[in-house]
Amino acid sequence: MKKALNGTVSWVGKIDWELTRFHGDEYSTHKGSSYNSYLVEEGKTVLIDTVWTPYAKEFVDNLEAEGLLDRLDAVIAQHAESDHSGAMPELMRRRPDLPVYCTANGVKSLKGHYHQGWDFHVVKTGDEYDLGNGKKLVFVEAPMLHWPDSMFSYMTGDAILFSNDAFGQHMATERLYNDLVDQDVLWAESIKYYANILTPFSSLVKAKIDQVLSLGLPVNMIATSHGVIWRDNPVQIVQKYLEWSQDYKEDRVTILYDTMWQGTRVMADALAKAIAEASPSTTVVSHCLSKFDKNDAITDVFRSKAVLVGSPTVGKGILTAVAAALEEIKGLRFKGKKAGAFGAYGWSGESVKVISDLLKASGFDVVDDGIKALWNPDDEAIAATAAYGKAFVAKLG
């Protein structure tokens, strides 16, 4: 299970090929994931992060089988979310003397999760752990990347940045490095991960990257806690994060909708066709939220300069698939995106206003009052919807 990155640093994590949902049931992982733990064997032998709880025993057994468990001098707990700290109780049960290095928030979070009084050593940005052999780990607090407790560790000499959640992807692969995997999958999973997890913290992402870059440190590898290690031009993912963190948008419009009796679906199709005709350079994508994956839809929202959201009116409100997606979108705090609403109705017709209000409350620039169609859209209603789509795209600049 131990895979060498170089002479003294190894991957000792767990590849989770069967993971289909992450963060409970919130995030789809079409490609599985991995929980990357690293072992540094210099003068000191140090473990950086562990793995998710179901694999705790397997993980610690593997360390023991390779004669590593008794040799450990310390564990660095960069982030207490259980996909990285889940093996800590098993590890500490078998090595209760092991010092645990983490941030002050890491202590709170680890105690909150596991209710144990381990030998915590609190570190702050700039603090160092002497590995021996003239090398050290330098710690960098990275709050909200992904939790308030998160931190990075930079290994001098080998110039490896252990970045925990930052720069990761949910992707299972036995191929450890970014240059060895399918590039389309790598980048699709990287942007999905950013869009669905890191978007709310974009201002902190940029500030943290600027801080790390200002140190002028060489970086040979970025060893994340999920997916591949960036060794081929590792700066490329840093540059992408800088781009994604600054109100990212492409020439793309995403339509999100659900439908009961096809009326709102007919409107969604008319909007997609009209936008494509009015602006051939614009990519239009349409997601029926009750049928397709919510996280993939959110990735398209992240990539878009505008969204159109549709639902029929149901009980003076909107369909639950649309409501659920809008609740998640609210939490992601997208910035700099325009929006409109649409929907079919039979009686009272509140859905378009409900959606518009939710989009406004979520930080979208709602450009107009949206469009409704009474009963099933007839030719006239379809033409009106298409005209609305053309007018909408003309407002996007």
Residues annotated as part of the active site: 23, 79, 81, 83, 146, 165, 193, 226
What secondary structure does DSSP assign to 86-98, as a single string?
TTHHHHHHH-TT-
Span 134-163, contacts to ligand FEO by CB under 6 A? 146-147
**Start-to-end C-alpha separation, the chain:** 53
Is residue 27 a contact residue for ligand FEO (CB under 6 A)?
A: no
Span 207-226, contacts to ligand FEO by CB under 6 A? 225-226
Whose Cβ is closer to ligand FEO: residue 226's or residue 265's?
Answer: 226
Instruction: Write down the least CB distance from residue 325 to ligand FEO, Å.
Output: 22
The two tokens of residue 199 are: 């978007």
Give the contacts of 215 (CB within 8 A, at least 6 positions apart): none
Instruction: Write down the least CB distance from residue 85 to ligand FEO, Å.
Output: 9
Cβ atoms of 253 and 284 closer than 8 Å: yes
Residue 183 CB-density burial (10 A; 0-12 exposed, 13-18 middle, 19+ buried): exposed
x/- binding map, residues 162-181, to ligand FEO, per CB under 6 A? ---x----------------
Cα 121 from Cα 132, distance rounded (Å): 18
Q: How far is CA 109 from the centre of its chain?
A: 20
Tokens 């692969």, located at residue: 173
Instruction: Write down the least CB distance from residue 165 to ligand FEO, Å.
Output: 4
The two tokens of residue 21 are: 């949902």
Span 240-269, contacts to ligand FEO by CB under 6 A? none
Instruction: Write down the least CB distance from residue 105 to ligand FEO, Å.
Output: 13
Is residue 84 a contact residue for ligand FEO (CB under 6 A)?
A: yes
Region near ligand FEO per CB under 6 A, out of 12-20, 43-51, 80-88, 312-320 = 80-88
Helices and strands (H, E) in the chain, number of each type = 12, 23
Is residue 90 a contact residue for ligand FEO (CB under 6 A)?
A: no
Whose Cβ is closer to ligand FEO: residue 193's or residue 364's?
Answer: 193
Region near ligand FEO per CB under 6 A, out of 78-86, 97-105, 126-134, 238-246 = 78-86
Cα 166 from Cα 238, distance rounded (Å): 9
Reference 381, options 287, 272, 264; nearest CA is 264
Cα 112 from Cα 107, distance rounded (Å): 8
Is residue 192 a contact residue for ligand FEO (CB under 6 A)?
A: no
- The H-or-E segment that residue 276 falls in is helix 263-278
Is residue 350 a contact residue for ligand FEO (CB under 6 A)?
A: no
Instruction: Write down the least CB distance from residue 83 to ligand FEO, Å.
Output: 4
Region near ligand FEO per CB under 6 A, out of 76-84, 92-100, 184-192, 271-279 = 76-84
Residues of this chain that interact with ligand FEO (CB under 6 A) are 79, 81, 83-84, 146-147, 165, 225-226
